[in-house]
Amino acid sequence: MSSVKLTVDRTNGLAFITLSDKAVHSTVEHSANILVDLDDMGMAVGIELLDLDALIPFDALNTRYHVASDKVDTLRVIQPTINKFFLTSIARKGEVSSAVESAAEANQVANGVPATV
DSSP SS3 for 64: coil
Q: What is the mean pLDDT of residues 11-27?
A: 93
Per-residue pLDDT, 27: 97
Question: Considering the entire predicted model, what is its pTM?
Answer: 0.72
Q: Are 47 and 55 in contact (CB under 8 A)?
A: no
The answer to whether residue 114 scores a pLDDT higher than 50 is no
Backbone angles phi, psi at 45, to 5 degrees: -115, -15
* Domain regions of the chain by residue span: 5-116
Q: What percent of the chain has pLDDT over 90?
A: 38
The string of pLDDT tens digits covering residues 59-72 is 999 899 999 888 88
